[in-house]
Amino acid sequence: MRDQPARPRSSRRTLRTFAVCAIPAALAAVFLSCVGWLSPRLNARRIVNAFEATTTPHPGFRRNHAKGICVTGHFDSNGDGALLSRASVFAKGRYAVVGRLSIPGGDPGEDDAAATVRSLALRMTLPRGEEWRLAMNSTPVFPVRTPQALLEQLQADARDPRTGRRDPAKMQAFLDSHPEARAFRRFIEQHPPSSGYDNATYYGISAFQTIDAHGIRRFVRWEVVPDKPYRAVDAGDLRDPDFLFYDLSKSLRKGPLRWHLFMNVAMPGDTTDDSTRQWVSSPRRPRIDAGTLVIDRAQTQIDGACRDLAFDPTVLPDGIAPSADPLLAARSAAYAVSLQRRTSEEAAARARAH
């Protein structure tokens, strides 16, 4: 497997990969009833249908980030996060973690060489029955700002039902009409993908609110920074279509992997409802290291602990709240539809087998 020749990556395919990079796992159906962006013209089912139109059918798999690996470990909170939030996760202590590392796209057999983005999703189990779910990408911004723009992006990336091919002119027309996507493209061009899952930084992308013990609210964006030094992917890595899985498993045999969870606090002038705009790096920006994420085991996604988890970034403990970013509610609702579809497909397959 390791000495298979690398597959060429055209810029057209790269644009397709960018277009679907930000929706990770499918999520719980309860959110369908509580999001305000649903309408006859734009709703979660249309978003999921558009994702499905970008690839061939793969029943039982997630509609995006279909290829991934389950991981388990814990979060060691150092207590410093309590400066910003009263959330129980920031009390000093250790909290169990189930997660998933993945690449974009709806094909579970996708070649890892095609992916310019890595993604990390987490569920932290907290006291009093609370949970914190995070869905992060290795890019700090998203290509589009609104659910409507996301739908248009996916439609531009769709396969022709007759030929099974994409029309690159449609994607180019979309990009020409959405200048906000330039920041995402610029980041990708200037930051080659990491050589592995274990040496990538993962960003929450959207802003969230933290509420401290005195009720004071602040906007933050978080990122998870690896202890392992970044290395750009090279031709040697790309010879194996599953090098991300292989190298992660190899690294874990040597010992646990660690990342630090940082919270970056908004400054005057920072946008808090637009995922296409990155906050300016500044030495004056408050930045808190809240603790260490430790991953010590990996399992296949077929039978691993993450198999039936929905990593909805709006599942938050008391002390953290969503911002007004419209993508958060849209993601939550779309994940619910996706989860319902894949679990129904799995149930139907089991019924046929018996």
For 143-201, give the DSSP string: S-SSHHHHHHHHHHTPBPTTT--B-HHHHHHHHHH-GGGHHHHHHHHHSPPBSSSTT--
Tell me if 69 sits within 8 A of 102, measured CB to CB. yes
Distance CA 255, CA 78 (A): 21
For residue 234, the SS3 value is: coil
- State the number of CA atoms in the 13 A half-sphere of 243 facing the CB: 24
Tell me if 83 sits within 8 A of 162, measured CB to CB. no
| Among the listed residues 245, 263, 305, 335, the one whose alpha carbon sits nearest the alpha carbon of residue 123 | 305
Tell me if 211 sits within 8 A of 86, measured CB to CB. yes
Between CA 180 and CA 186, with CA 182 as vertex, the angle to 5 degrees is: 145
**Catalytic residue check, 65:** yes
Which residues line the annotated binding site? 335
Three-class SS string for 120-156?
EEEEEECHHHCEEEEEEECCCCCCCCCHHHHHHHHHH
- Active-site choice (58, 65, 260, 354): 65
Query: Residue 219 has which token pair?
Result: 């906007």
Distance CA 18, CA 12 (A): 10
Known catalytic residues are 65
